[in-house]
Structures are given as C-alpha cells and as structure tokens.
Amino acid sequence: MVPKPKTMSMSMRSHHLETVLWNVDSGLIMNFKRLKKIKIHGLCSLINWLYKNFKKNIWLKSHQLQITVICLFDLSFLNRFPSNSPKNADRDSYPFGSLRNLVMVAGHSVYTSSSCEKVDKEDAWYLEPYQKHPGQAATFVTHIERGVEIAAKDDAALLLFSGGETRKEAGPRSEAQSYWTVAESKQWFGKRDSVRSRALTEEHARDSFENLLFSVCRFRELTGTYPHNITVVGYDFKEERFVHLHRSAIRFPEFRFLYSGTASSQNSREAALKGEALVRSQFQEDPYGCLGALSRKKLGRDPFHRSIPYPNGCPEIKGLFSYCGTAPFPGWLPWA
C-alpha cells in the first residue's frame, strides 16, 4: 500500500503554489518551494511545466511518480501574499465569529479602590499628577458608558476596553479590567443583557497607538476576522491623533473609522490640550511609537515586564508589529 504524503493545508491561494513530488518507489520527497510567481491553469499545464523545468530530475512514469499540487495558505512561504481573514466556515470555531465591528474604549487609568461605590471619585483611581483634577474620574466613567451605548446600538459589535498594567503603584491591575469592572458595577448602564456578553478586554496596550493596533489583533483572536468598521471612544481632543495618525499608520479606510469623543474635565482642559499637542507632534515624527521619547514612554508603562502575545493571534498582520519607520507600512494588510 502506498503511503500518503503528510497532510498539509489545502486552502487555495490564487495560483501561487508549493509543488511536492513524491517518488512512489523510494519515498523521496522533493520540495520546490516558493514558486510564488508561477501561474498554473489545470493539471495538464502543471505537468507540462514540470517536464520542461525538471525533466533531467524526474522520471515521468505513471507507476513510479505521483504528483501532488498543494496551494498553500501558509505565511511562511507566502509572506508577500497573505490570505484574507478565515473563511466563514472556519469562524464557527471562534467564540464571537458572528461579530463584524469593533468598538474600542481606550483606557486612561487603573481603578484601585476595593469598593465599587466610588467609581466617580478621584481617590478611587491611580492618577498621574497631570490627571489630578476635580471631575477627572467622571470622565473615565463617561468613556465606559459611551462605549456601552455604541455597542448596544449595534448587535454586530464587539466592545473592547483596552489598556495594560501601566502603573507600578497601582499594582498588577490593568486599565482594561478596571473599565470592565466599572461597567459591571454600573450594571452596564441599563444595557447588561445586550452588551455584557460581548464586552471583553485587551490588556497589553501601553499607548494610544497600541490601543488601536492591539485591539484590532484581539478582535481577530476572538472573531476569526478583522473588523469591518472601527469606532474609538476617547477624549475629544485626541480625535486628530486617532483619526489622522494612528488610523493612517495601519492604513485602515477612513470611511470605516469613527471616533466618538467626550469632553475632558473643565479644570484640566488647558493642560490637556498642551500635552496633546506635544504627543501628537511626537507621533507625527514617529508614527509607530518605536523611537525616542515614545519608545521610552512605553517601557515606563510596563513596570511588570508583561510579555505581549501579539501578533500570535493575528498572523496576517505580523509585519505591522515589527515595522518601525516614518513612512506608512508598505506591506499587505487585509483591510487596505
């Protein structure tokens, strides 16, 4: 009995292939990898191509040679031609495979109180000096409520609270989990039944760019695909940063990207605008936050040396995670 070749992925990839030739008598497998640019139309043209290119190495006898053509969905061979999101049939294995849109609430602080009755009080949150203003805690709650409201209006939306364990003094608690806990304490602002089951966390982001990029990857982990539409919830003065800088950096279509901004506390607005102008100028020079001041800031916001799991859950865009440049990422992206 002739043994079968090892099982490999059979997903089609528009004529780009790896050809595996298996000699029945000897069991020798000869791999001709990275035949990315060869366009084959049917088995006959494949055999003809093989004969022309490898006739010195191949003994074409029907009882001695079996030809298996495998069109790979394998990024290790086809990095320049990564696939789109998994087919709908594959998405059944994901816990939220029916969801299409992302609503992301960017975290700004860690909730440190042992009581859930003080969510709108400043002393219940770990605040940086520039955040210590009356009404600051209430703005966090407003962001959480806004995210819940937007998700409640869209049954196809996944709500993600994003933010890592960014403050050493706050302990190993994430901004994202803090926001989820506040929403839970508020009974999801009257929308518990419709939103809670599809509200989750992204607990590794250390800055606003990572809030967006990591949430897109987290969405892929949970749904098996990438978001069709993205809505970001944050302070109104950060809209330009997200819409024109971060969105452009990942080359997400502008007409599918929305920003829902809320006001900062009145006492902090002047300082917030000044600080935002500085950060925005830094991202203009360093769009991916991988150089200089922005890179150092991220290191400072990782006091517990957490290992970042991405891009394991979103392999199609792994190049985006390692890219560092001033020009937009030049590689293929599933939404661009």
Q: What's the whole-number mean pLDDT along residues 267-278? A: 92
Sheet of strand 229-235, all strands in order from the earlier edge strand to the far edge:
199-202, 157-162, 101-106, 229-235, 257-262
Q: Phi and psi for 328 in degrees, rounded to 5?
A: -60, 150
Q: What is the pLDDT of residue 112?
A: 96
Any bridge partners for residue 201, and if so which?
Answer: 161
Domain membership flag for residue 332 = no
Domain membership flag for residue 334 = no
Three-state secondary-structure class, residue 231: strand
Phi-psi region of 121 (alpha: psi -120 to 50; beta: other; left: phi over 0): beta
Three-state secondary-structure class, residue 26: coil
Q: What's the whole-number mean pLDDT along residues 208-221? A: 98
Whether the predicted pLDDT of 22 surpasses 80? no
Same domain, yes or no: 78 and 197: no
Residue 160, amino acid: L
Give the confidence band of 87 by pLDDT, cuts at 50, 70, 90. Answer: low
Percent of the chain with pLDDT over 70: 74
Contact 227, 324 (CB under 8 A): no
- Say how far apart CA 254 and CA 308 lie, in whole Å: 28
Whether the predicted pLDDT of 124 surpasses 60? yes
Q: What's the whole-number mean pLDDT along residues 304-331? A: 97
Q: What is the pLDDT of residue 134?
A: 93
| Residue that has been written with the tokens 């506390």 in this structure | 265
Same domain, yes or no: 129 and 29: no
Same domain, yes or no: 130 and 50: no
DSSP per residue over 126-152, as a string?
Answer: E--GGG-STTHHHHHHHHHHHHHHHHH
Same domain, yes or no: 177 and 263: yes
Same domain, yes or no: 203 and 159: yes
Same domain, yes or no: 184 and 283: yes
Q: What's the whole-number mean pLDDT along residues 28-55? A: 45
Average model confidence (pLDDT) for the chain?
Answer: 82
Whether the predicted pLDDT of 88 surpasses 70? no
Same domain, yes or no: 154 and 257: yes
Question: What's the angle, vertex CA 292, arms to CA 288 and CA 298, rounded to 5?
Answer: 65
Domain that holds residue 4: 1-83
Q: Which helix (H) or strand (E) holds 157?
A: strand 157-162
